[in-house]
C-alpha cells in the first residue's frame, strides 16, 4: 500500500511538472501576461457569436475531452484564480473551407473566462487547439494573448492508398494528427496502377477488377464518412485520380487504355496510358469524375495527376498514328497530351470542379486554364535538391498558383533527426519568391507519403511528428527557424500525440541530436531537459495488445 502511494505521488509529480514550451506551430504573436490560472472542473465552452454551428459544438466536445482526459486538478497545486469557461465568438457563418477562407483567430487566456474571436469556425478550431496545447497536465495555464493566422492557405499531407490499403480508422487517426498540427488539406491519392480501391457506383467494374480484394475498397459511404470527419476538423479532402498515366488496374474493361505494340515485331504487348484519341475515354472520365465531385462535396478540387506520362506506348500504336494523321492540328505526342488535358480540364470545369495537376503538365507546355493549381514535386532530394526553386520561379512567374511538395517527400527516411532537413527548407526561397507569396501564388506546402513501404502499421509513426515540421513551416512566420526551440516543442507535441492515442515516433535523444553538425552541444541540448526531454515522454506509448492466446 505504501509503495502504491509512493508511486502515485511520483506519478502526480511527473505529470504536474510536464512542461509547456510553447505551441506548435508557433503562433504569429503571443504576449504572456505573467499570470497563472487554473481550469475549474465546471469549465464549459460557450458560443457567444451569432454563429453557433454543429461544427463548433462538436469541437467543444472534442476539446473538453482532450483537455480534461485523465486529468484532475491536483490538490497540491497552488491556489490560483480559476477559469470557468471559454466564450467563443465566431463572426461569420462560412462553413466550407477554400483557399481564401479566413483561418485567423484571437485567444485571450484570462480569468474568469477565456475569450476566442474568429472570423470563421475554422479559426475557432485552431484557437481551441492552441488552448489545449497551453494547458499543463495539472490544469494550470499561463495568462496570454495570442493573435494568429497561417502563413499559407494550403497545408497538406498526401497519402497513397493504391500501393497499400489503409483502413478507415487509420485515415481518421491521420486526420486528427493533421488537425493537431493545424494542417488543412488531405490530398488523397486514392488510386494508381497498383490497385483501384475507389468503389464506384456508376462504374462498379473498376474496383471489382482493380481492388486488391473485395474487402480492400472505399465505399462511397466510407468516403463520405471520412470527408465529414475531416471537415469537422477543418481538413479538406482532395481526391486524386491520376491520368492519363498511372492507370492500369481497374480500367481494363472500359476500353480506354492504349494498346502498346512491340516496335520491332508489331505485335501487341501490354496496355499503357489512357488513349486520348477515343471519345470513350472522355465519356468514362466524365461519368467517373462527376460521381467523384459529388462524393467528395463540398470540396471542389480534384487532383488529376498528369505526371510521368509514358508516351512510347502512344507512339507504338497505329490507330493513334492514323488519328494524328487525320488531325493535323495536333502536331506531335506533346500536342496529344495537350489535347487530352484540354478536354479533361474543360470537362471538369463544366462539372463545376477545380483542378490541381502535377508539374509535368506545365513543363510539357500544355496550354492549361489559368485557374489550374500546379503541384511542384520534382527536384527536392539528393543532387537535385534545389531544382524545385527554378520550377517554382517558372510556375509562379507564369501566374499559376502552386503547391510545393518537392522538398517535403517524407516517405524518404534517414538515420538521425531528418525532420530538420524539411523544417529548414524556406518555401519562398526562389527568384521572385517574395512577390509570388504576396500575390498568393504559393498556395502552400504538402508533405507526401508514397506508400510503397507504408501501410496502417506505420503510417502514424512515419508521418508524425515529422510532418509537423512541415506544418510549422506552412503556418508560422518565415523568421521562426530556431532549431533548438523547434526541437523542444516538437518533442512535447509528439508526447502530446501519445496522450491523444497516436503512436508518433521519437525525434531522438539528447546524445543523438547533439551530434548534429552545427546543432547544440550535448550540454546545451540536455540542459533543456525538462524531465527526460528528448529521451522519454511523461506518458509513454502503451499499446493495446492482445496475443492470440489471450483473445
Ligand X SMILES: *[C@@H]1O[C@H](CO)[C@@H](O)[C@H](O)[C@H]1NC(C)=O
408-427: contacts with ligand X (CB under 6 A): 426
DSSP designation for 119:
S
443 and 403 Cβ atoms separated by less than 8 Å: yes
Using CB under 6 A, pick the residue from 12, 14, 36, 48 that binds ligand X.
48
168 and 226 Cβ atoms separated by less than 8 Å: yes
Which residues are 140's β-sheet partners?
38
CB of 426 to ligand X, least distance (A): 4
Decide whether 125 or 171 has the Cβ nearer to ligand X. Answer: 125
Burial of 265 (0-12, 13-18, 19+ CB in 10 A): exposed
102 binds ligand X (CB under 6 A): no
Burial of 539 (0-12, 13-18, 19+ CB in 10 A): middle
CB of 391 to ligand X, least distance (A): 13
147 binds ligand X (CB under 6 A): no
Selecting among 41, 228, 308, 312, the annotated active-site residue is 308
Task: Say if residue 25 is preceded by a cis peptide, omega within 30 of 0.
Answer: yes
Decide whether 315 or 429 has the Cβ nearer to ligand X. Answer: 429
Measured distance CA(393)–CA(396) in Å, rounded: 6
429 binds ligand X (CB under 6 A): yes
307 binds ligand X (CB under 6 A): no
- Return the percent helix, strand and coil in the chain, to nearest 5: 35, 20, 40
Q: Is 129 a catalytic residue?
A: no
Nearest to 437 by CA among 113, 150, 193, 213: 150
HSE at residue 96, side-chain half, CA atoms within 13 A, is 7
Using CB under 6 A, pick the residue from 53, 82, 91, 499 that binds ligand X.
91
CB of 81 to ligand X, least distance (A): 21
Measured distance CA(66)–CA(78) in Å, rounded: 23
520-549: contacts with ligand X (CB under 6 A): none
484 binds ligand X (CB under 6 A): yes
| Chain position carrying cell 486538478 | 73
386 binds ligand X (CB under 6 A): yes
393 binds ligand X (CB under 6 A): no
Using CB under 6 A, pick the residue from 100, 169, 213, 279 that binds ligand X.
279
Measured distance CA(263)–CA(315) in Å, rounded: 9
CB of 526 to ligand X, least distance (A): 13
CB of 459 to ligand X, least distance (A): 29
Decide whether 110 or 224 has the Cβ nearer to ligand X. Answer: 110
CB of 471 to ligand X, least distance (A): 18
Angstrom CA distances, 165 to 58, 156, 185, 220, 450, stand at: 29, 20, 20, 16, 12
Using CB under 6 A, pick the residue from 33, 269, 319, 482 that binds ligand X.
482
- Segment interacting with ligand X (CB under 6 A) among 161-169, 353-361, 443-451, 479-487: 479-487
Which residues are 371's β-sheet partners?
none
89 binds ligand X (CB under 6 A): yes
Note the residues at the interface with ligand X (CB under 6 A).
Answer: 48-49, 89, 91, 279, 386, 389, 426, 429, 482, 484-485
Catalytic residue IDs = 308
Amino acid at each position: 500500500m505504501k509503495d502504491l502511494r509512493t508511486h502515485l505521488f511520483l506519478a502526480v509529480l511527473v505529470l504536474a511538472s510536464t512542461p509547456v514550451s510553447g505551441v506548435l506551430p508557433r503562433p504569429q504573436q503571443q504576449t504572456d501576461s505573467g499570470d497563472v490560472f487554473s481550469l475549474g472542473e465546471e469549465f464549459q465552452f460557450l458560443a457567444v457569436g451569432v454563429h453557433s454551428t454543429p461544427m463548433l459544438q462538436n469541437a467543444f466536445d472534442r476539446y473538453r475531452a482532450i483537455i480534461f482526459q485523465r486529468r484532475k486538478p491536483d490538490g497540491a497545486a497552488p491556489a490560483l484564480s480559476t477559469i470557468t469557461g471559454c466564450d467563443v465568438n465566431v463572426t461569420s457563418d462560412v462553413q466550407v473551407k477554400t483557399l481564401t477562407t479566413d483561418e485567423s483567430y484571437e485567444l485571450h487566456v484570462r480569468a474568469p473566462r477565456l475569450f476566442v474571436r474568429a472570423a470563421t469556425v475554422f479559426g475557432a478550431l485552431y484557437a481551441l487547439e492552441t488552448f489545449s496545447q497551453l494547458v499543463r497536465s495539472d490544469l494550470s495555464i499561463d495568462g496570454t494573448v495570442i493573435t494568429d493566422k497561417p502563413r499559407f492557405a494550403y497545408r497538406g499531407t498526401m497519402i497513397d492508398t493504391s500501393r497499400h490499403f489503409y483502413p478507415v480508422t487509420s485515415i481518421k487517426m491521420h486526420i486528427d494528427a493533421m488537425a493537431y498540427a493545424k494542417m488543412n488539406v488531405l490530398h488523397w491519392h486514392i488510386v494508381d496502377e497498383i490497385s483501384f480501391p475507389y468503389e464506384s457506383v456508376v462504374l462498379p467494374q473498376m474496383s471489382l477488377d482493380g481492388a486488391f480484394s473485395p474487402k480492400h475498397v472505399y465505399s462511397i459511404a466510407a468516403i463520405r464518412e471520412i470527408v465529414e470527419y475531416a471537415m469537422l476538423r477543418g481538413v479538406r479532402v482532395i481526391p486524386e485520380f491520376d491520368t492519363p498515366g498511372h492507370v492500369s488496374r481497374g480500367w481494363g474493361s472500359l476500353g480506354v487504355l492504349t494498346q502498346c505494340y512491340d516496335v520491332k515485331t508489331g505485335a501487341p504487348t501490354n496496355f499503357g496510358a489512357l488513349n486520348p484519341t477515343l471519345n470513350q475515354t472522355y465519356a468514362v472520365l466524365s461519368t467517373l469524375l462527376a460521381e467523384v465531385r459529388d462524393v467528395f462535396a463540398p470540396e471542389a478540387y480534384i487532383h488529376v495527376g498528369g505526371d510521368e506520362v509514358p508516351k512510347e506506348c502512344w507512339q507504338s500504336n497505329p490507330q493513334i498514328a492514323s488519328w494524328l494523321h487525320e488531325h493535323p492540328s495536333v502536331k506531335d505526342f506533346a500536342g496529344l497530351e495537350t489535347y487530352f488535358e484540354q478536354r479533361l480540364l474543360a470537362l471538369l470545369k463544366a462539372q463545376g470542379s477545380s483542378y490541381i495537376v502535377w508539374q509535368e503538365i506545365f513543363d510539357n507546355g500544355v496550354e492549361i486554364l489559368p485557374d489550374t493549381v500546379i503541384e511542384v514535386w520534382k527536384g527536392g532530394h539528393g543532387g537535385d535538391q534545389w531544382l524545385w526553386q527554378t520550377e517554382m520561379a517558372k510556375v509562379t512567374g507564369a501566374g499559376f498558383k502552386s503547391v510545393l511538395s518537392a522538398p517535403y517527400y517524407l516517405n524518404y527516411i534517414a538515420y538521425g533527426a531528418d525532420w530538420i532537413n524539411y523544417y529548414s527548407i524556406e518555401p519562398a526561397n526562389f527568384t521572385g519568391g517574395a512577390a509570388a507569396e504576396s500575390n498568393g501564388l504559393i498556395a502552400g506546402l504538402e508533405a507526401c507519403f508514397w506508400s510503397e513501404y507504408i501501410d496502417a502499421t506505420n503510417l502514424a509513426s512515419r508521418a508524425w511528428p515529422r510532418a509537423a515540421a512541415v506544418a510549422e513551416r506552412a503556418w508560422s512566420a518565415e523568421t521562426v527557424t530556431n532549431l533548438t526551440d523547434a526541437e523542444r516543442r516538437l518533442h512535447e507535441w509528439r508526447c502530446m500525440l501519445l496522450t491523444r492515442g497516436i503512436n508518433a515516433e521519437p525525434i531522438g535523444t539528447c546524445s543523438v541530436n547533439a551530434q548534429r553538425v552545427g546543432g547544440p552541444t550535448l550540454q546545451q541540448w540536455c540542459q533543456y531537459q525538462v524531465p527526460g526531454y528528448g529521451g522519454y515522454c511523461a506518458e509513454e506509448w502503451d499499446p493495446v495488445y492482445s496475443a492470440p492466446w489471450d483473445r
